[in-house]
Amino acid sequence: MAEFTMELNDEQKEVRDWLHGFAADVIRPAAAESDEREETPWPVIQEAAKVGIYSLDFYAQQYFDATGLGIPMAMEELFWGDAGIALSIVGTGLAAVGVLANGTEEQIGTWIPQMYGEPNDVKVAAFCSSEPDAGSDVASMRTRAVYDEAKDEWVINGTKTWATNGGIANVHVVVASVDPGLGSKGHASFIVPPGTPGLTQGQKFKKHGIRASHTAEVVLDGVRVPGSCLLGGKEKLDERLARAREKARKGGDRVKNAAMATFEASRPAVGAMAVGTARAAYEVALDYARTREQFGRPIIDNQGVAFQLADMRTRIDAARLLVWRASWMAVNGRPFEAAEGSMSKLFASETAKKVTAQAIQILGGNGYTREYPVERMHRDAAIYTIFEGTSEIQRLVISRTISGMPIR
């Protein structure tokens, strides 16, 4: 087990500097236009693929970093560049992780390469879980998958929403209920191959922030996929459902808590994204305060500005430490006994909203215009308190964990 450290090693620093250079030289110059156009930044994704950032190998190397700091370090630097473009680059990873976590070796080898494509012909993938009536309440999922034994096919019907790359993806990974009576334990994941009839894009959302990232509904109307597209296979699913039914009879609460723990482990990465956006806004505000003069002196000479910057930096560093602690715990198998994953996501996401708002205030009227990036960063920051579990859900998870009570 790696010891927890607050210092990156030489290899990690080299990767960090490489990512920072890509974010500064490739992502940032495209940020404002990508935000205005609200379109997937294909040229940037292609550049990321050419240098090796947009690839499963890169994320696998960071994920298996024994210190746990690889993924949060990478997320912070990319999202420092721009949140919308960074999400376009890392969004495919959500689907890839779904296959890695649940798929067979054959499924992993078959589908993950098709998710990324080639540097000269990049593809994207979509992970489709949320629904119009099932966001935080995953047990209410209505999308159904029914097995057609005669044809060895699964028939999927339903509507997914808030799907990153939904409808434009080469490969969709769809979560559906195969046994509604088991709630979230009755869910299974399916690969929907390219060009499968019945899968269409619904509305594309025009969003407040992260506008360079494509977000849309995915409609599944009688979608048929081969039995081989059930992640993990039919035998493994049947065994898992049988265990879940037995556990449900003995104690349903334990089944629900195990499902919540699964989501808990992925939240520090989102916290790292928020840290990146907050740090970017802070740096713009600090530079502006040093150079902007009013009444014959830089505005940073005023306590009203300097104290805000002090608070901003303090919150950013505190958020990063919470993210790093939770990431280290997750990689090293330490249980989140106080919901440390949710703590990191909650504090970092709230920090991003607060720090970007303070940055606008420091820039004054300039900060409110699109001539300066803090306006965009503030809009982008709003998503962190919503996706991957709202701040209210994080507080619910934390309070239930520390109290042992079924708080509602």
Catalytic residues: 388
**Coil, strand or helix: which one is 164?**
strand
Q: Fill in the DSSP letter of residue 227.
A: G
Count CB-CB contacts under 10 A for residue 266: 16
Kindly give the interhelix angle for 83-102 and 56-63, rounded to the nearest 10 degrees.
Answer: 80
Q: Select from 55, 59, 52, 69 the least CA-distant residue to 18.
A: 52
CA dist., res. 373 & res. 371, Å (int):
7
Q: Select from 95, 149, 154 the least CA-distant residue to 124.
A: 95
CA dist., res. 75 & res. 236, Å (int):
33
**Coil, strand or helix: which one is 36?**
helix
Please answer whether residues 346 and 391 qualify as being in contact, where contact means their C-beta atoms are separated by less than 8 angstroms.
Answer: yes
DSSP of 172-225: EEEEEES-GGGGGGGEEEEEE-TT-TTEEEEEEP--SS-TTS-EEEEEEEEEEE
**Coil, strand or helix: which one is 102?**
helix
CA dist., res. 385 & res. 349, Å (int):
5
Instruction: For residue 395, give both structure tokens.
Output: 């507080």
